[in-house]
């Protein structure tokens, strides 16, 4: 769980850096500064790649979780836990 939270923070930061890179590239274009354009492109592409990596990783994890839940439902289990029904004494 702690690992997933860290990955969400990294993906969020990567998304923000993609926008920052695009903004830097735009303002560099307005100022006719080639260095700002190149730096903006590098930051934007790097943020996009990091974001893509962590989103793909999250998607794979959610697919596995979905398959496990579907398997539980096929076996007739309606709950996501191994606990019995509440209020029932065994």
Chain segment 5-36, per-residue pLDDT in tens: 777 777 777 777 777 877 777 777 777 778 77
Output the pLDDT for position 1: 54
Output the pLDDT for position 83: 55
67 falls within a domain: yes
90 falls within a domain: no
Please name the residues in contact with 17: beta carbons below 8 A apart, sequence gap of 6 or more: 43, 44, 46, 47, 50
CA distances from 52 to 5, 60, 67, 84 (A): 16, 12, 22, 40
What is the SS3 assignment for 12-48?
A: HHHHHHHHHHHHHHHHHHHCCCHHHHHHHHHHHHHHH
Three-class DSSP category at 25: helix
User: How many structural domains are present in the chain?
Assistant: 1
Report the predicted TM-score, pTM, of the whole model to 2 decimal places.
Answer: 0.54
81 falls within a domain: no
87 falls within a domain: no
């Amino acid at each position: 769980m702690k690992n997933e939270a860290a990955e969400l923070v990294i993906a969020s930061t990567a998304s923000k850096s993609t926008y920052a890179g695009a903004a830097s590239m735009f303002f560099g274009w307005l100022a006719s500064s080639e260095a700002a354009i190149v730096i903006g492109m590098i930051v934007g592409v790097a943020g996009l790649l990091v974001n893509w990596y962590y989103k793909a990783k999250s998607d794979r994890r959610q697919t596995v979780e979905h398959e496990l839940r579907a398997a539980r439902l096929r076996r007739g289990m309606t709950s996501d836990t191994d606990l019995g029904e509440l209020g029932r004494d065994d």
